[in-house]
Each structure stands twice: as structure tokens, then as C-alpha cells.
Amino acid sequence: MNKQLKNLFFFVKEKLQLLSVSIQIPADDILKWIGYMEITKEHVLRDVKFELSNLDSSSKVELFIKQYHSIVLSIINAVTNQSVSADLNLPVVIKAFYQQVTSTLQQLLAFSEVQHALIKMDLEVPLNTMQDCKAEIREKVHAVRKLLTEKDNVRLLRTILIPVDDFLEENDPVSYKRLNYFTGLVNDLESLRNNSGIKQQLRELLIRWNVNSEDALLFLRSFYESLLTEAETIQEKIDLLALWKKQTNLVILKPGANYDSSELSVHAFLTKFFQEEEAFYIKSQQLIAESTTVPTSTGANEPSGNSPTTSKFITSMNLSELAGFIKVMIESEVLVNEVVLEPLRAASDIFSTSNKETLKFDSIRTKFYNIDANTGRAVIDICSRLASTARQIFR
């Protein structure tokens, strides 16, 4: 431990202990404490910068910063907790002492060499810093909600703010990286203007800041699927998908930004979705072209007069269960089509449920991407019955 930092640590610890027992301490003594901390802070900063400059490996720098951060953080949090729980009618000079301790220690974490390392290593933010930043974020979120009142904008805004609201309600320790993520996201959100292009701006913000929550990904998929449904021809759908891919790739991403590092990024999610849809519609277009022509005796193709009717498989599963069952076969690699939508298109052509004569592709696709808990349990039961029957047949 740095000698000057060690001295400061034990000094503050001793004074906090004194104040927890009695506040009847002469004002002159407390002013001397404040003066001592200011001088010691300068010595700590000087020595830490010197030590950092003489470390000869990144591993040594990382170890030094972690130890340094741990010591300063423990003091800040102790001061914050004690000052919050203290009598509100404390003498002014004691309140000044608490404020000076907090300010001094925050400065020890704020200079550039340490700050960069704290963010890179994703270390914990002091309690008082987290509280102040969350209060500021709450104010900005409130202002944004008042600005965006149109129904569609509110729905999109709510999708973005669900992770922010969850973050504000958390009581767990927060890392510098996580705090910077939500601060930057809300700052960007606050800078938007409510105009005719606001919906596009909000969607781009989801991509730029990689708000890859489950709600956000489901919203985006549903949004683009609804637009595809409105397109009248396959070529229109293909053109739309090409446009969306281009728009998505033009969004400048925030390096390292993500809400959930364990999930696919919003950019990757949309790119995959657009590519799968585009590949499916291009193939559908080719199949339609082939089905409307027949070879002549000279080898040329001529329009076909009619198309053959196809007998359908009638299943006891409802539409949601059929979509869930296909999802299981794809995820377990029983079906290995490169384009996920191909089995869905085939199912809509060859299956009929007990209560629906004709299955629409758009309907089964929507169900495929939105399997609810009840459907999931029903599909598990279907798979169990299949496994049981297979064991009886093939034992």
C-alpha cells in the first residue's frame, strides 16, 4: 500500500470512529483534520502517479490499481454510510468534514491514469457517486417521458427505458462501465428531438447503445415483421430488407456498449434476421418462377396452366404448438435447413391443424418467435409422448 494513502486511510478511519462516539469535538480540531486531508491528498496523487509510471508490466499496473481502488472505495462508502445515518442537526463544521473527506477521496479516483484503468477493469463505483448519478438519470428520464407522448413513441421509449428503470431500482454495487453505459444512453436519449424522424432515431439508439434486452429484441422483430406483412409483393419485401440492412449498417456503434454481454448484440440480431428473411423470400421468388413454367418438347419453358393440389398432414397440435415443435427440431438439429424460415414455409403448405384448414406463413412465423410459457409446457408434453411411443415401438 502507498505510504501516504495508508496514512490517510488510518487517519480517516480514526476520525470516523471518534465522530460515531461523540460530536462534541472542537471546531478548530476538525478544521485541522480538513487541512491535513487536503495536504495528504496532494502527496497521495504525486506518489501514485510516480509509482504507476515505474511499473514495468500491465499485470503490475492492474494489481496496483485494484488495491488502490479497494482502499479508497472502502473509505468513501464508510463515510457515505456514516454521514447518511448521522443526525441531520450536526454542527456545520462536522458536515463540512464529511463533505471534505468525500471530495478528497473522489479526487483520488478521478485523475486520468486511474480513471481509465477503473473503467477498463470494470471496478466498483463509490456509493455516493452511484447515488448522485442515479438521481441525475431519474431527472432526465422524467423529462424524456414528458417530451415523447405520442402512442407509438411511448411504446418504443418504454422498450428502451425498461433496462434503465431496472438499473435505477437495483441496490447492488455498480461498476464504472455499467454506470457509464446508462449515463451515456440516457444522455443520448435526452438529446433527441420530438419530430417526424423520432421513431427512426429511437430505433437507431437501440442499435447504437446495444440495448439487447429481451423486450427490445422482441419489439424490433415484431416491428419489422409487421412492416413485411404490409408489403404486397415478394419483391417489395426483398427491397425493404435490403434497405433495413443498409440503415442498420450505417448506425455508428458505441465501442464495447452492451446491456447484456451474454446475448447477441442488437446489430448482429437484426443483421441475422434480415439475412434469413431475405434469403427466404429470394428462394420463394425462385420457386414461384419455376412452378409457373413447364418444359416443352424443345426444352424451353412455358407457363404452366395449373399447379397440383397437395394433400395435407392434419395435426392435433394447434398453431402455437406446431411452431414450438418446429423450433425444438431446429434447435436440436433434427432439422438442419440453413434458412430457418424454410421449415415454417413448408409447414404452412403441408400441415393443417384440427381447427384451421389453412395455415398462413406469417401467422406461424409470428408464433415461432413468440413461444409463451403455456405453449412451451404443451410442446414438452408432446415431445415426452413421442419419446414414450418411440421406446414402445423400437424396444
pLDDT digits (tens, 9 = 90+) for 57-101: 777 877 888 888 888 888 888 888 877 666 566 778 888 888 888
Q: In percent, how much of the chain has pLDDT > 70?
A: 86
Do 84 and 220 sit in the same domain of this protein?
no
Question: In this structure, are 134 and 268 located in the same domain?
Answer: yes
- Considering the domain architecture, whether residues 101 and 10 belong to the same structural domain is answered as yes
How do residues 284-324 score in pLDDT, each as one tens digit? 888 777 765 555 555 555 444 444 445 678 888 888 888 89
Give the structural domain span for 317: 313-394
Counting the structural domains of the chain, the total is: 3
Is 258 in the same domain as 154? Answer: yes
Residue 217 burial (C-beta neighbours within 10 Å; 0-12, 13-18, 19+): buried
Is the model's pLDDT at 164 over the cut of 80? Answer: yes
pLDDT tens digit sequence for 363-395: 888 888 888 888 999 999 999 999 988 888 887
| pLDDT tens sequence across 135-161 | 999 999 988 887 777 666 778 888 889
59 found inside a domain? yes
| Domain termination site, one of 104, 123, 142 | 123
Residue 107 sits in the same domain as residue 140:
no
Q: Are residues 85 and 157 in the same domain?
A: no
> Is residue 138 domain-shared with residue 244, that is, in the same domain?
yes
- Please identify, among 89, 108, 123, the residue that sits at the C-terminal boundary of a domain: 123
Q: pLDDT for 175-205, tens place per residue?
A: 888 888 999 999 998 888 666 678 888 889 9
**Alpha helices, DSSP H, located in the chain:** 3-21, 27-54, 58-85, 92-110, 112-121, 127-147, 151-169, 176-191, 198-208, 214-230, 234-250, 266-291, 319-331, 341-350, 361-368, 373-394
Say if residue 91 is in the same domain as residue 141.
no
Confidence of residue 268 (pLDDT cuts 50, 70, 90): very high
Q: What is the pLDDT of residue 287?
A: 77
Which of 52-56, 207-211, 366-370 is modeled with the greatest confidence? Answer: 207-211
Q: pLDDT tens digits, residue range 11-37?
A: 888 888 888 777 788 888 888 888 888
Residue 149 φ then ψ, to 5°: -115, -10
* Model pLDDT, residue 269: 93
The mean pLDDT value of the chain amounts to: 82
Whether residue 171 is found in the same domain as residue 245: yes
CB pairs under 8 A, 24+ apart, for 267-271? 267/207, 267/210, 269/212, 269/217, 269/220, 270/207, 270/220, 270/224, 270/244, 271/245
Same domain as 280, residue 161: yes
What is the predicted pLDDT for the residue at 67?
A: 81
259 pLDDT higher than 50? yes
- pLDDT in the model for residue 167: 92
175 and 93 assigned to the same domain = no
Of the listed ranges 5-9, 102-106, 290-294, the least confidently predicted one is: 290-294
Q: Is residue 289 part of a domain?
A: no
Check residue 286 and give its pLDDT. 81
Q: Report the C-alpha gap between 207 and 159 in whole angstroms.
A: 13
Same domain, 271 and 149: yes
Domain-terminating residue out of 123, 148, 180: 123
